[in-house]
Structure 1
Amino acid sequence: MHVIVVGAGIVGSSVAYRAAQSGAQVTVLEASRAGAGTSGVSFAWTNANNKPPRAYHDLNVAGMRAHAALREEFGRAPWFHQSGSLEWRVARAEVAAQKEKVARLKEWGYAAEFIDKARLRELAPAVAAEAIPDEAAIVYCAEEGWVDPVLYAGTMLRAARDRYGARLKTGITVTGLETRNGRVIGARDARGELHGADVVINCTGRWSNDTVEGSAPTVPLAPTVGFLVFTPPVGIDLQRPLHGPDLDIRPDGAGRLMVRKDSLDDRFTRLESRTPDCEEAKIALASAAEILPELAGVEAEAVRTTVRPIPADGLSAVGPVRGLEGYYVVVTHSGVTLGPLLGQAVADEVVRGRQRSDLGPFRPGRFQA
């Protein structure tokens, strides 16, 4: 079986690795480079923290555990940081919602616990204790963490190539599928070249509809824009992601931190270029410095905007598309968390012919009339 995987982000690289491992001849077609799309501009928080309904929560928990299993499979996983994460809320309504959420997570067997400020200082000594009111509801989730998605994607693609003979072709923008008698026979690129295959798996995320426009049914998307700020190396002792009201901070390797402020996303309706000295970056870093005083006076090294690939109902869309044999689509938010799990699940279905019941609620057919 010859499988084409379109897209070399965290999902596409996972699918390529597992499909090749399962015995398929795999070719990955990528418009740019591994991880160059949304994967490379993501807060990359691995979690099932607030992802109802239960089936979607369980899928994300399985994704978290699939990340941990890769560490054993590869002997090391420098891209995966299962550090736990810290979250706090202050406003009365948000505290009440936090308590309801933690109760639900505990009922579902998730590692979430309320902690006091003394424990917070142990887990995040760089946090200014006075910046978090005594009445705040502080939660620690020990199994959560973060991923370097580009390092992950590169590692999976190299393993797919070196161990199982997969091929990666970059600079190839797929613009449609080629079909014959209701079956896919390959993917056609922007230069008009046909790349023949028995199955095409679309892992291009927010570009998934552009990839097959006019040649296959599409998944309705409701994408959102995010704004990220990256510090220069600052040497702050931060080991795990922080999630405060309207603020998220995590380590990003080599002493850098990544900062996002939810309310700033409202200033963007599409991908836009900003310089590191832009107003939005200054606002985000000023808020972060209230929590991490050592950030005072630090200027942004880089800023990025990203578009999150979210199906219209907020849930994953994974599976074959009705009425077109040989075409399989994977588009989801939480791709960083779900990547390793979806790689195995898609390989099971496409290559091994084993239908996965855990994907049942997330079929793209729910959007088809």
Structure 2
Amino acid sequence: MTHPKHTIVIGGGIVGASVAFHLAKSGVQVDVIESRQPAQQASKVSYAWINARDKHPFGYHELNRRSQDMWRRFEDDLQTDIGLVWGGEMRWTATETGALEFRSRIAELQEWGYSIREISPEEAAELEPGISFGNPTSVSYTDSDGHVDPEKVVYGCLSSVRQNGGLVHTNESVKSFIKSGDSISHVVTTKDTYECDSVVIAAGSKTPKIAEMLGSKFQNTHSQGATVITDVLSVPLFNSIAAMHSPRDLGGVLINSRQLTDGRVMIHGGTNARSIADESIEDAEMLIQETAKYLPSTRDLRVQEVRSALRPMPPDGLPVLGHLPSTPNAYITYTHSGVTLAPMIGEMAALEIRTGVETEILAPYRPERFN
């Protein structure tokens, strides 16, 4: 299937919006079908940290790093404010055992060419005087990481889709497909039936269920994710970095913190067993108390919002990208790390859909590996 004239993108999150944007920019007529409102599910809940740090194996790390490098061009192409902030990331360990594992990972990332280094506790305190490090046994610093506002990205993408003649259908779910031979000719929703000559399934945690309608099955392993949004902090949360992660070797509650461009603070936290704040306001308030142990400036903040959604997670942790074996004009994008990967997936998927060429960089992530 090459040179489609009319593509339907199912899903209005950051990955689906990026694919729609790149297709529309290349002259394809695009309709987006979103079951709720755009960017109100996993994209809104996402911590939205742009990075390639905890990505294995090397090929997947490299995919994320290349996409990380594409974000500035993506921002320029969108020609709108997307809340893109750079500054790097800092984390540390509190035990000697943790430090040994930490240094091993730093060395591996350096061998892979990632911009990361170990710094002394004194340098860490000088770079970020507002963080209470305690007595760290090792500290890592990256200067290439950033974060973004997924809602702004999605609305920027969909605005461009509309400007190029596309349509965005909201509060509309896919019920079934009509086929002509092996290929989809129409998408049937809860409101209407739409003719098309190609389909992109980018529906986050709902993607496996929709793909199953077309005879493609793979295990659905998505999990609950949550973030807490506080009221506005009147001072900068950090001096230079974009994100902070508390020690992983202490047990207990793990804290990830960053500041939104409007001054509010986003906190993601949990234990090794589950994400906290997906059930109660008490959990959310506890996260602020835990955060204040490392960031005293947050001590008096109040919970403004708790965001919770199912996060897409392929069974082997790696993206599922490409045309479905059972349906040659249906293309699937199912992945964790959707924020980091949005520019890469959007650009490469649009290229593959338009031309029929299978890019080498996406070769390890084809849906055939589950069949």
Q: CA RMSD in A?
A: 1.9
Quick check: 2:60–2:318 contact (8 Å CA) kept in 1? Answer: yes
Quick check: 1:50–1:101 contact (8 Å CA) kept in 2? Answer: no
Distance change in 2, residues 1:75/1:124 (3 Å): farther
| 3-state secondary structure, aligned to 2:297 | helix
Residue in structure 1 matching 2:66, options 54, 62, 66: 62
- 2:54 corresponds to: 50
Deviations 1:129-182 (A, max 9, x none): xx43142x11111111111000010011112222x2222111211122221211
1:184-263 to structure 2, matched below 5 A, reads 184-191=184-191, 193-239=192-238, 240-245=242-247, 246-263=254-271
Residue in structure 1 matching 2:96, options 75, 92, 96: 92
Residue 350 of structure 1 and its aligned partner are, at CA, apart by: 0.2
1:24-173 to structure 2, matched below 5 A, reads 24-74=28-78, 77-128=81-132, 131-135=133-137, 137-162=138-163, 164-173=164-173
Normalised by the size of structure 2, how large is the TM-score? 0.91
- 2:286 corresponds to: 283
User: How far, CA to CA, are the matches of 1:71 and 1:148 in structure 2?
Assistant: 11
- 2:295 corresponds to: 292
Normalised by the size of structure 1, how large is the TM-score? 0.91
User: How far, CA to CA, are the matches of 1:123 and 1:256 in structure 2?
Assistant: 22
Residue in structure 1 matching 2:328, options 293, 309, 325: 325
User: How far, CA to CA, are the matches of 2:59 and 2:22 in structure 1?
Assistant: 23
Which ranges in structure 1 are unaligned for 5 or more consecutive residues? none
| 3-state secondary structure, aligned to 1:210 | helix
Residue 210 of structure 1 and its aligned partner are, at CA, apart by: 3.0
Deviations 1:34-82 (A, max 9, x none): 2111101111111110101111001101110111222343456442112
- 2:180 corresponds to: 180
- 1:349 corresponds to: 352
Deviations 1:232-261 (A, max 9, x none): 102232241101122111112311111122
User: How far, CA to CA, are the matches of 2:275 and 2:13 in structure 1?
Assistant: 26
| 3-state secondary structure, aligned to 2:290 | helix
Quick check: 1:126–1:237 contact (8 Å CA) kept in 2? Answer: no
Quick check: 1:175–1:213 contact (8 Å CA) kept in 2? Answer: no
| 3-state secondary structure, aligned to 2:341 | helix
User: How far, CA to CA, are the matches of 1:76 and 1:206 in structure 2?
Assistant: 28
Quick check: 2:237–2:297 contact (8 Å CA) kept in 1? Answer: no
Deviations 1:271-295 (A, max 9, x none): 9553xxx321122111100111122
Count of residue correspondences: 358
Residue 213 of structure 1 and its aligned partner are, at CA, apart by: 4.2
Residue 267 of structure 1 and its aligned partner are, at CA, apart by: 6.6
Of the structure 1 ranges 140-149 and 259-268, higher mean CA displacement relative to structure 2 is found in 259-268
Quick check: 1:266 aligned with 2:278? no
